[in-house]
Amino acid sequence: MTDNYLTLVNSGPAGTLAKKLGLPRPAVLRRHKQGAPLVPGPLLVLGTGAGADTLATRLLDWNQDVRRHARPGEKLGAIVVVLDAVADPSDLAAPVLELGQALRQLARGGRIVTVSRPALESTDPAEAAARQGIDGMVRSIGRELRAGATANGILLRGEAPVESASGALRFLLSGKSAFVNGQFITAGESPQSGPQDEERPLAGQTAVVTGAARGIGAEIAAVLSRDGAHVVVVDVPAAGEQLAAVANRVGGTALQLDITAEDAASRILEHVQHRYGSLDLLVHNAGITRDKLLANMDAARWESVMAVNLASQLRVNRSLLASDTFSASGRIVCLASTSGIAGNRGQSNYAASKAGVIGMVRSTGAALEGSGRTINAVAPGFIETEMTARMPFATREVARRFSSLQQGGQPIDVAETIAFLASPAAAGINGEVLRVCGQSLVGA
């Protein structure tokens, strides 16, 4: 669905009037375009330790114009703040205040990315306090930025070297992370190494996307195909015509089935094995809503939502992980929701199912640790889809403007995040839940 207000306030006279009246002025977000630079201008790296030097060198290897100190009057495409060695809250003052001064030079659609370590992994109170302080700082900066800029963080798990941040860093700097703001990605040491094809990172791989006949599912299929994957799109027989159109559009194959059927997993595996030999990626996108206040909830509404959104994923995952058809470096990406994190009025069944997905991902991720396989979840917030288009006008407008980016996300934002988690660059990311919500917990 088109956000007409966003279009209006970015069209000259209307934008000037909105500014005079103090109205919200959401920016057109910087999204990925083939051949576009990673960041729109020079990139500043802050930090005095070896980790900052290492990442500055890595960014130079990516042909970025790297600065270690901001030049007066120069617009910066991104600022990377390396804080992996902080041991006390006093260690934050110098780099954070330097960041504050550099923020004045951040370009439209710019990026702030911090690199640090998880507070929960520290047994030293001062060190844990400093690490947790970074969390609050980044989330606050994300709410202060304007003109489509975002602030996010990367946490290095365990003894992972700074280089382990590379995959997440490239994603967060790029236009692919346009609607990810105020979030943290935890990355461990990657079991995979060597150069990657940045344009087609999924070349030669086979992906299955459920609920792919329209909306977010169809967009996921398109992005995975763009990135080089052979895509199998799955949906119910009633959506067969739409599903076939999606398959034709992405050059893939269509499989009509009810994902809640007992034989759904075996049919998916048989289809993939027959046509492609093995399966590298499964995206659990299929989902439904049957909203009612709990006082008016009946068994049919509760059970149907749980069956599609959660039970089917559990059943399929069990079969997939036990099958030789699933690659030794296979990826599972599940669609959760901010409703499963913050709750939502009239969605106790939906929120329970999506919170259940998060619990499943974290548990399964722990079981997969070190195996070469990964499972992660993406939790969309307010995304412009047919479902949100049916919301009452006032509710929809509040949901759009409540995010720190003052707008809803697009299906492409969810699809880009899933494609990143499916890529070799995310090999060290496992059991994570990444919100794509523009730093808002409103909506499904």
**Are residues 212 and 161 part of one domain?**
no
Average pLDDT, the chain: 93
199 within a domain of the structure (yes/no) = no
In whole angstroms, what is the distance from residue 48 CA to residue 410 CA? 38
**Are residues 364 and 265 part of one domain?**
yes
pLDDT single digits (tens) 223-243: 999 999 999 999 999 999 999
Let me know: does 228 contact 253? Beta carbons within 8 Å. Answer: no
Is pLDDT at 366 greater than 60 in this prediction?
A: yes
For 229-263, b/e burial (b = at least 16 CB within 10 A) is bbbbbbbbeebeebbbbbbeebebbbbbbbbbeee
197 within a domain of the structure (yes/no) = no
271 within a domain of the structure (yes/no) = yes
Listed residues 187, 218, 246: the one ending a domain: 187
18 within a domain of the structure (yes/no) = no
Going by the DSSP 8-state scheme, the letter that residue 292 receives in this structure is B
**Are residues 129 and 238 part of one domain?**
no
**pLDDT band of 397, cuts 50, 70, 90:** confident
In whole angstroms, what is the distance from residue 29 CA to residue 147 CA? 8
Listed residues 187, 218, 235: the one ending a domain: 187
Segments forming the whole domain that contains residue 218:
206-436
**Are residues 134 and 52 part of one domain?**
yes
- What CATH code is carried by the domain that includes residue 150? 3.40.50.720
198 within a domain of the structure (yes/no) = no
214 within a domain of the structure (yes/no) = yes
**Are residues 144 and 52 part of one domain?**
yes
Is pLDDT at 430 greater than 50 in this prediction?
A: yes
Number of domains in the chain: 2
pTM for the whole thing?
Answer: 0.94
Give residue 421's Cα distance to chain centre: 8
**pLDDT band of 385, cuts 50, 70, 90:** confident
pLDDT single digits (tens) 306-350: 999 999 999 999 999 999 999 999 999 999 999 999 998 999 999
In whole angstroms, what is the distance from residue 385 CA to residue 388 CA? 5
pLDDT single digits (tens) 176-234: 999 999 999 999 987 655 557 788 999 999 999 999 999 999 999 999 999 999 999 99
**Are residues 234 and 106 part of one domain?**
no
**Residue 172 three-state SS:** helix
**Are residues 406 and 307 part of one domain?**
yes
In whole angstroms, what is the distance from residue 163 CA to residue 188 CA? 10
194 within a domain of the structure (yes/no) = no
**Are residues 160 and 73 part of one domain?**
yes
Catalytic residue, from 350, 382, 402, 420: name it: 350
pLDDT single digits (tens) 33-60: 988 999 999 999 999 889 999 999 999 9
**Are residues 234 and 162 part of one domain?**
no
**Are residues 262 and 150 part of one domain?**
no
Within 8 A by CB and 6+ apart from 185, the residues are 152, 153, 154, 155, 168, 171, 172, 429, 432, 434
**Are residues 337 and 215 part of one domain?**
yes
Q: Please tell me the predicted confidence (pLDDT) of residue 198.
A: 82
Is pLDDT at 444 greater than 50 in this prediction?
A: no
**Are residues 107 and 243 part of one domain?**
no
In whole angstroms, what is the distance from residue 136 CA to residue 318 CA? 37
For the chain, the first-to-last Cα distance in angstroms comes to: 15
Tokens of 79: 């600022």
Active site residue 276: no
260 within a domain of the structure (yes/no) = yes
pLDDT single digits (tens) 89-141: 999 999 999 999 999 999 999 999 999 999 999 999 999 999 999 999 999 99
Q: Please tell me the predicted confidence (pLDDT) of residue 50.
A: 92
Listed residues 134, 156, 187: the one ending a domain: 187
In whole angstroms, what is the distance from residue 185 CA to residue 157 CA? 10
